[in-house]
Amino acid sequence: MAQPVVSSPARSVLVLAGGISHERDVSLRSGRRVADALADRGWRVRIAEPDASLLRGLAAEAPDVVWPALHGASGEDGSLLGLLEGTGIPFVGSDARAARLAWDKPVAKTVVANAEGVTPRGITLSRETFRELGAPGVLDAVRASFPLPVVVKPSRGGSAQGVTVVREPDALARAMVDAYTYGDDAIVEHFVSGTEVAVGVLDTGDGPRALPAVEIVPESGDYDYAARYNAGETRFFAPARLSDAAAGAAAELALLVHRAMGLRHVSRVDMVVDEAGTAWFFDVNVIPGYTETSLLPQGILAGGEDLGAVYSALATAAIEGPPA
């Protein structure tokens, strides 16, 4: 007697979203988008918050793969990823070591510069420096070393929180205070004029590949938190309005960053392409946004790919591990 054919159960994925960082709301929206796309592809999906029950629940539930969609320190500084590594459950994205490198912007800039990537000159200043040396003297030294305009931003964090483009000398002090709202260290770096773009990188097992660059044109002139996550605040061009040579330079920089920092599965590199076609590195995200206005999904769609198919391929790559 023939045995009945039993279909194998769908693979399960636990999407982590929320958390207690400044980017909690964005994380919840990202997590829901990822979950919906994977569910449409037949995955058994559950969304969970990173709370006191998480680690015990992971051991009991034993999903096939975890997808961290946690923005800010709760997901991107490497701490939670290190704990996930300890569980032995595969997860989508970079390991804890690479995440720590990417999370610290001065360290990331150093790694990229050492790999011969181009990044603006900058200085990292601790809050304590202002206390010890006095704010007037430190501000005068910065103004003397870095002609305006400059960009001031926290040394850690994302979603442009605490980031200010300083165009007037008297605005520097306020910009430093805003940056210190999000941490004890801040970066002051040269402002680079040009086309602001983001380039996603995917690796589903055949090596990293760059997505089409997404051009960012905020209505206000600055790509701040509101411009990132409020529909209508920013115009996007996907693919970016770059020459073939400039688009190639942007793709090369994104791949250089991904490889130099040892990233895995998915990343998004933020940069500016100047008038000469040089791509300047500013930041890299190991857990990029997946909301309706986020840049990585726009890059996927600009490349003619389906979000659900790409997310499914990333989750599968995490389960199967690197090629032997």
What CATH number did the domain enclosing 274 receive? 3.30.470.20
- Domain membership flag for residue 22: yes
For the chain, which residues score pLDDT lower than 50? 1-8
What is the reported pLDDT for 322? 81
- Tell how far CA 215 is from the center of its chain: 16
**Whether the bond into 50 is cis, omega within 30 of 0:** no
Determine what percent of the chain falls in helix, strand and coil, rounding each to the nearest 5.
40, 20, 40
What is the reported pLDDT for 231? 60
What is the reported pLDDT for 1? 44
What is the reported pLDDT for 162? 86
Closest by Cα among 36, 15, 7, 57 to 315 = 15
- Domain membership flag for residue 27: yes
Q: Which of 136, 171, 190 is the endpoint of a domain?
A: 190
What is the reported pLDDT for 157? 73
pTM > 0.85: yes or no:
yes
How far is Cα 57 from Cα 231, in angstroms, rounded to an integer?
A: 36
- Domain membership flag for residue 5: no
Q: What is the CATH number of the domain that holds 166?
A: 3.30.1490.20
Q: Which of 190, 219, 242 is the endpoint of a domain?
A: 190
Domain co-membership, 81 together with 61 = yes
- Domain membership flag for residue 297: yes
What is the reported pLDDT for 19? 86
In terms of residue numbers, what domain contains 186?
Answer: 122-190
Q: Which of 167, 190, 213 is the endpoint of a domain?
A: 190
* Contact criterion met (CB below 8 Å) for 47 and 32: yes
Burial 277-305 (b: 16+ CB within 10 A, else e): bbbbbbbbbbbbbbbebbbbbbbbbbbee
Domain co-membership, 40 together with 146 = no
Q: What is the pLDDT of residues 36-78, one digit of tens each?
A: 999 999 999 999 999 999 999 998 999 999 999 998 777 889 9
Domain count, the chain: 3
What is the reported pLDDT for 225? 55
What is the reported pLDDT for 131? 93
